[in-house]
């Protein structure tokens, strides 16, 4: 393994079960006796769609091919009972709205309509009516949109042809978004310790998490961690320390005793996450005069980083909404590291952002570094901290806003992480070029109502986040040049 590549994390990810896609294809049954070759062709197309859905990593619940309203009602009941994360209605040819409205009404899941004709274009010289009807999936789409709107069902669609990769990229976006929505709806999020005193922007009404996203917030004490750390054996702590030494480059400033303590805390954190079945964790404890809770809080960075890298994001400073943003980014494949503004470089046109503390090791530009710190700025305690730079290329800053009326909103901005000088102070600093004056970007980003923390993830993810916001009926604010 080279120092220029991120190191693997040995613990498996907690990404959860695959997204469950309910698939129903259909067409107007009156056509089948008139054009005997039509239904077999449309069924083959439906089988291909099911195959492509599985290729997206989805578990497909196939309700079969429907030809009238009665069959639509039966499909609706099958998909309702299956508990799908998204319903995909495949318009293979003309069909009436009465065939799909019951599916949409009963599903308790967002609905995506797809209109994928067999090929890019018909052979107009040779086609007869039956062959044309296989290309007629666009015809019922406005009818479905009208009926869905009148029934209060949110509407979205993708039109293309069966092997149209642009269309499948859009379909994949909706499927991924449905998977993230499902992860939030069933998620368990730990909140341990207390609010960093004075951080009014960070404070989150816990009931609003389940109101906006679903899921459950488990309120924890640092004593829940303490009793688990006390039970860590010397052999377990040594194994975690060896894991850290394999993953990280160790700066000479790292004190062996501090690393051993961080490894012990990390092992206790693993048990805490397992015992409470947590999908994310936000934490903070101020501490006093070196007592045990202060030592636990100071020893969190290693374990929180290892958790984050394996899909259980852990954010400091009691930042529940940012832990949720990190979870969303991770489930979209972006990683998502705990981040805030650090400085603006007007000479180079860069925004410098990162944080002291936990990081998403899987998106590091190089082998992450552990640095020993005699003091954590703004916090009590001392120990080891993570130093890394998000790998260079497209990135997205993404955070969750809590509005005055209690609604959550998404804020996102796409940029590029680039090379340049970085401080060596045990922080997770990255240089981000947003394609505009860094001061103007900072003003626009702050004006969204974001808190002073967010997730920084790899790739340009605004399109994915817009899809998720749509499925969750949530406001999305994009900051762009």
Q: Residue 215 and residue 231: Cα distance in Å, rounded?
A: 30
Residue 374: CA count within 13 A, CB half-sphere = 1
Q: Residue 217 and residue 282: Cα distance in Å, rounded?
A: 10
Residue 373: per-residue pLDDT: 80
- Within 10 angstroms of residue 227's Cβ, the number of other Cβ atoms is 12
Q: Residue 391 and residue 395: Cα distance in Å, rounded?
A: 9
Q: Could you tell me which of 318, 85, 104 has the C-alpha nearest to residue 183?
A: 85
Q: Residue 432 and residue 423: Cα distance in Å, rounded?
A: 15
List, in order, residues 6 or more apart from 327 with CB less than 8 Å away.
Answer: 183, 184, 187, 189, 279, 280, 313, 336
- Please, where are the H alpha helices in 203-319? 206-212, 222-230, 234-247, 256-276, 292-298, 300-309
Q: Residue 151 and residue 371: Cα distance in Å, rounded?
A: 58
List, in order, residues 6 or more apart from 176 with CB less than 8 Å away.
Answer: 19, 56, 331, 332, 333, 464, 467
**Quick one: CA torsion of 421, 262, 339, 451, rounded to 10 degrees?**
-150
Q: Residue 372 and residue 260: Cα distance in Å, rounded?
A: 12
List the beta bridge partners of residue 454: 339
What is the gyration radius of the CA atoms in the chain, in angstroms?
A: 25
Residue 4: per-residue pLDDT: 35
Residue 6: per-residue pLDDT: 31
Residue 11: per-residue pLDDT: 32
Q: What is the pLDDT of residues 401-419, one digit of tens each?
A: 999 999 999 999 999 999 9
Residue 108: per-residue pLDDT: 87
Token duo for residue 197: 């005193």
Residue 178: per-residue pLDDT: 98
Q: Do 454 and 398 contact (CB within 8 A), yes or no?
A: yes
Q: Do 14 and 312 contact (CB within 8 A), yes or no?
A: yes
Which residues in the chain land under pLDDT 70? 1-15, 374-382
List the beta bridge partners of residue 456: 337, 397
Q: Could you tell me which of 336, 341, 334, 309 has the C-alpha nearest to residue 324?
A: 336
Residue 339: per-residue pLDDT: 96
Q: Residue 249 and residue 370: Cα distance in Å, rounded?
A: 6
Q: Residue 404 and residue 34: Cα distance in Å, rounded?
A: 59
Which residue in the block uniquely carries the two structure tokens 């499909």?
A: 75
Q: Residue 174 and residue 158: Cα distance in Å, rounded?
A: 10
Residue 9: per-residue pLDDT: 27
List, in order, residues 6 or more apart from 444 with CB less than 8 Å away.
Answer: 479
Residue 383: per-residue pLDDT: 83
């Amino acid at each position: 393994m080279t120092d220029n590549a991120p190191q693997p994390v040995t613990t498996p990810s907690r990404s959860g079960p695959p997204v469950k896609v309910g698939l129903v294809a259909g067409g107007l049954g009156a056509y089948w006796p008139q054009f005997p070759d039509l239904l077999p062709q449309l069924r083959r197309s439906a089988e291909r769609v099911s195959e492509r859905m599985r290729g997206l990593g989805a578990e497909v619940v196939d309700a079969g091919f429907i030809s009238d309203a009665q069959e639509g009602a039966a499909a609706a009941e099958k998909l309702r009972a299956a508990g799908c994360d998204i319903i995909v209605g495949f318009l293979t040819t003309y069909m009436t709205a009465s065939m799909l409205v019951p599916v949409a009404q009963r599903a308790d899941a967002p609905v995506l309509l797809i209109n994928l004709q067999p090929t890019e274009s018909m052979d107009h010289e040779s086609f007869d009516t039956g062959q044309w009807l296989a290309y007629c999936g666009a015809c019922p789409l406005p009818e479905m949109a009208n009926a869905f709107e009148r029934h209060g069902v949110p509407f979205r669609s993708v039109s293309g042809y069966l092997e149209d990769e642009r269309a499948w990229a859009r379909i994949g976006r909706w499927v991924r978004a449905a998977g993230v929505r499902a992860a939030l709806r069933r998620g368990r999020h730990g909140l341990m310790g207390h609010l960093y005193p004075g951080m009014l922007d960070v404070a989150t009404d816990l009931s609003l998490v389940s109101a906006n996203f679903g899921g459950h917030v488990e309120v924890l004490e640092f004593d829940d961690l303490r009793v688990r750390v006390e039970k860590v054996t010397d052999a377990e702590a040594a194994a975690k320390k060896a894991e850290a030494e394999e993953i990280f480059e160790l700066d000479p400033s790292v004190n062996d005793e501090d690393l051993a303590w961080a490894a012990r805390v990390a092992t206790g954190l693993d048990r805490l996450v397992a015992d409470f079945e947590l999908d994310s964790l936000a934490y903070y404890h101020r501490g006093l005069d070196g007592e045990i809770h202060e030592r636990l809080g100071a020893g969190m960075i290693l374990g929180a980083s290892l958790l984050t890298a394996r899909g259980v994001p852990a954010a400091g400073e009691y930042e529940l909404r940012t832990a949720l943003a990190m979870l969303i980014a991770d489930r979209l494949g972006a990683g998502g590291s705990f981040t805030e503004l650090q400085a603006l470089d007007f000479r180079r046109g860069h925004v410098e952002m990162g944080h002291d503390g936990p990081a998403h090791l899987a998106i590091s530009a190089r082998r992450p570094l552990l640095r020993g710190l005699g003091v954590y700025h703004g916090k009590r305690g001392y120990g080891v901290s993570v130093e890394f730079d998000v790998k260079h290329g497209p990135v997205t800053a993404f955070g969750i806003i809590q509005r005055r009326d209690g609604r959550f909103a998404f804020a996102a901005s796409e940029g590029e992480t680039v090379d340049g000088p970085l401080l060596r102070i045990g922080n997770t600093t990255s240089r981000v070029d947003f394609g505009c004056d860094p001061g103007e970007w900072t003003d626009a980003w702050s004006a969204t109502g974001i808190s002073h923390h967010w997730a920084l993830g790899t790739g340009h993810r605004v399109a994915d986040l817009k899809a998720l916001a749509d499925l969750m009926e949530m406001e999305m604010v994009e900051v762009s040049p």
